[in-house]
């Protein structure tokens, strides 16, 4: 069953289509000129000059203020003390309902004084989607959704929204049609929205907390390209195009302000992109976002179980001029094959048992981060490679022995990031860093 995105029905297509509604409310009848105006992520249903303000994010359509309650009154919906309240879920199947719980504050237009306030409860149901619908006036529109306000399980009022228009009809369950489209109007200037000085142009609004990325981090673009825009939705200005495979920092940003327009919850996926040394925070359009978490790079895990962590036992290692254990030990029987942890090249082989490492092999590698690392495998009984040999991940380098400074058979792994000591990245004197950065313990 199809799920409908209600947003294009409610907010029109942004071209300001104007139309007239025939109304007949409480014995008064006449026509009203209607226009749906879009302003960023806000949109307005303007009825002559009076208006209702809505806004949206990926999950919900929200209501904020309504100046059409009466000539002298307006109301504002709030939730948790913040202006605006989620009014309906954007994506619904026919039959789905949404239960909104706005706190509504009613004010006098002349003074901005509060006249009433109440906690409300409001259920909307998507009743139907019509490919074509003919209204009382004889006007037929295509793509119309029918929503109902549900009271005690029954529809109380029906609202009709047409694609490219907005609200085109309204009907009471008991009294029939209250208003319906009677004329499509073109070529007129935009309707002026009445100014209620107590209502700000761009109030701080409450947005749905983002849920797309639950664990922000490094992500990789998997689609052919990823468009990065200044704001939510594909209508916003494109400022970047990221190539497939690009790794970006992407996250769900909770509080955002772009310029002075948006403040509040910014929904969806944001990414930090670097351009000429400056990091910019930009929104990834959901429709275009196709990202997968970057798989963290790991070295092949040596056999055995961890017997001594990096930097442990400083007392024992002081005599070697080290702040602690300069590697990671894996206990494993004599004769266990020691395998290359990553593709690289052998740069040193020591075949005599005359130092702390005993018989050992040293290799050099370039990790995916582009940096160069040296790896030492110590306490061997034999070696199967020679200086200058290229090695591939998993290739046997030698066998575990009991040579050098060791109390039992183990695979000692030292990882050195070339230049780390000079750069102040480690307090070890010989570029040694914690191998657990790259090895699962
Ligand atoms: Zn060790």
pLDDT at residue 18 greater than cutoff 80: yes
Least confident of 42-46, 62-66, 247-251, 379-383: 247-251
pLDDT at residue 414 greater than cutoff 60: yes
How many whole angstroms from 64 Cα to the centroid of ligand 1?
Answer: 65
Does this model's pTM top 0.85? no
How many whole angstroms from 398 Cα to the centroid of ligand 1?
Answer: 17
What's the pLDDT at 333?
95
What's the pLDDT at 80?
74
146 alpha carbon, distance to own chain's centre: 31
How many whole angstroms from 415 Cα to the centroid of ligand 1?
Answer: 11
How many whole angstroms from 343 Cα to the centroid of ligand 1?
Answer: 22
What's the pLDDT at 293?
61
What's the pLDDT at 260?
30
* Residues forming a β-bridge with 60: 89
* Residues forming a β-bridge with 62: 55, 86
What's the pLDDT at 273?
66
pLDDT tens digit string along 339-398? 999 999 999 999 999 999 999 999 999 987 778 999 999 999 999 999 999 999 999 999
How many whole angstroms from 328 Cα to the centroid of ligand 1?
Answer: 6
CA distance 44 to 35: 8
pLDDT over 70, % of the chain: 83
Least confident of 76-85, 326-335, 337-346: 76-85
What's the pLDDT at 275?
64
How many whole angstroms from 403 Cα to the centroid of ligand 1?
Answer: 12
How many whole angstroms from 309 Cα to the centroid of ligand 1?
Answer: 8
pLDDT tens digit string along 266-296? 445 666 666 666 666 677 665 555 666 666 7
Least confident of 151-165, 212-226, 365-379, 425-439: 212-226
- Section 40-58 average pLDDT: 88
The DSSP code for 312 is -
- Do the Cβ atoms of 145 and 133 come closer than 8 Å? no
Ordered by start, the domain boundaries in the chain are 4-185, 218-291, 305-437
Confidence label for 27 from pLDDT (cuts 50, 70 and 90) = confident
What's the pLDDT at 371?
86
- Section 127-137 average pLDDT: 95
What's the pLDDT at 213?
38
How many whole angstroms from 410 Cα to the centroid of ligand 1?
Answer: 8
How many whole angstroms from 397 Cα to the centroid of ligand 1?
Answer: 17
- Section 97-121 average pLDDT: 93
CA distance 315 to 337: 31
CA distance 221 to 289: 8
What's the pLDDT at 289?
58
How many whole angstroms from 320 Cα to the centroid of ligand 1?
Answer: 13
Mean pLDDT for the chain overall: 85
How many whole angstroms from 366 Cα to the centroid of ligand 1?
Answer: 23
Phi–psi pair at 314, nearest 5 degrees: -55, -35
CA distance 312 to 411: 16
Confidence label for 24 from pLDDT (cuts 50, 70 and 90) = confident
The DSSP code for 71 is T
**What CATH number labels 4-185?**
2.50.20
User: Considering only CA atoms, which of 348, 424, 428, 417 is closest in space to residue 380?
Assistant: 348
CA distance 366 to 417: 10
How many whole angstroms from 257 Cα to the centroid of ligand 1?
Answer: 51
What's the pLDDT at 91?
92
How many whole angstroms from 441 Cα to the centroid of ligand 1?
Answer: 15
* Residues forming a β-bridge with 33: 20
How many whole angstroms from 335 Cα to the centroid of ligand 1?
Answer: 17
CA distance 45 to 34: 7
What's the pLDDT at 257?
38
pLDDT tens digit string along 201-258? 777 676 654 433 344 566 677 666 777 776 655 667 777 777 777 776 666 554 443 3
What's the pLDDT at 189?
77
What's the pLDDT at 281?
66
How many whole angstroms from 157 Cα to the centroid of ligand 1?
Answer: 76
How many whole angstroms from 434 Cα to the centroid of ligand 1?
Answer: 12
Query: What distance separates the 2 farthest-apart alpha carbons in the chain?
Result: 107
How many whole angstroms from 412 Cα to the centroid of ligand 1?
Answer: 4
How many whole angstroms from 310 Cα to the centroid of ligand 1?
Answer: 8
Long-range contacts of 142-150 (CB under 8 A, 24+ apart): 143/9, 144/9, 144/168, 145/4, 145/6, 145/9, 147/6, 147/88, 148/124, 148/173, 149/122, 149/123, 149/124, 150/97, 150/123, 150/124, 150/125
How many whole angstroms from 413 Cα to the centroid of ligand 1?
Answer: 7
- Judge whether 4-185 and 305-437 match in fold: no
- Do the Cβ atoms of 335 and 344 come closer than 8 Å? no
> What CATH number does domain 305-437 carry, 3.30.565.10, 2.70.70.10, 3.40.1710.10, 2.40.30.160?
2.70.70.10
How many whole angstroms from 337 Cα to the centroid of ligand 1?
Answer: 17
On the CB side of 5, how many CA atoms lie within 13 Å of its CA?
9
């Amino acid at each position: 069953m199809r799920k409908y995105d209600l947003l294009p029905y409610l907010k029109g297509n942004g071209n300001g289509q104007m139309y007239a509604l025939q109304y007949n409310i409480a014995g008064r009848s006449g026509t009203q000129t209607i226009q749906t105006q879009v302003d960023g992520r806000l949109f307005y249903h303007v009825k002559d000059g009076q208006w209702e303000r809505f806004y949206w994010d990926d999950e919900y359509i929200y209501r904020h203020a309504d100046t059409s309650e009466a000539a002298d009154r307006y109301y504002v919906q709030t939730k948790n003390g913040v202006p605006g309240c989620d009014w309906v879920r954007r994506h619904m199947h026919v039959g789905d309902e949404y239960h909104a719980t706005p706190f509504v504050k009613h004010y006098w237009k002349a003074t901005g004084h509060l006249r009433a306030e109440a906690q409300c409860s409001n259920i909307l149901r998507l009743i139907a989607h019509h490919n074509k619908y003919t209204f009382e006036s004889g006007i037929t529109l295509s793509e119309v959704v029918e929503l109902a306000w549900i009271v005690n399980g029954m529809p109380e009022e029906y609202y009709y929204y047409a694609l490219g228009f907005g609200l085109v009809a309204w009907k009471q369950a008991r009294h029939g049609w209250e208003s319906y489209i009677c004329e499509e109007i073109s070529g007129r200037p935009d309707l002026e929205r009445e100014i209620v000085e107590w209502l700000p142009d761009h109030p701080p609004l409450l947005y749905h907390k983002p849920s797309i990325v639950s664990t922000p981090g490094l992500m990789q673009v998997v689609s052919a390209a990823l468009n990065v825009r200044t704001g939510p939705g594909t209508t916003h200005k494109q400022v970047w195009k990221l190539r497939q495979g690009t790794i970006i920092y992407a996250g769900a940003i909770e509080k955002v302000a772009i310029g002075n327009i948006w403040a509040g919850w910014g929904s969806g996926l944001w990414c930090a992109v670097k351009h000429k040394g400056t990091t910019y925070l930009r929104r990834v359009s959901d429709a275009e976002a196709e990202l997968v978490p970057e798989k963290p790079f790991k070295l092949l895990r040596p056999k055995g179980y961890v017997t001594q962590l990096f930097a442990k036992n400083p007392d024992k290692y002081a005599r070697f001029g080290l702040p602690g254990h300069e590697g990671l030990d894996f206990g494993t029987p004599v004769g266990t094959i020691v395998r290359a942890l990553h593709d690289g090249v052998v740069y040193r082989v020591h075949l005599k048992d005359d130092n702390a490492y005993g018989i050992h092999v040293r290799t050099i590698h370039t990790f995916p981060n582009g940096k160069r690392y040296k790896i030492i495998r110590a306490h061997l009984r034999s070696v199967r490679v020679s200086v200058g040999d290229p090695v591939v991940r998993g290739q046997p380098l030698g066998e575990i022995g009991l040579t050098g400074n060791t109390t039992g058979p183990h695979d000692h792994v030292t990882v050195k990031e070339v230049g780390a000591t000079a750069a102040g990245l480690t307090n070890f004197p010989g570029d040694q860093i914690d191998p657990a950065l790259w090895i699962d313990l």
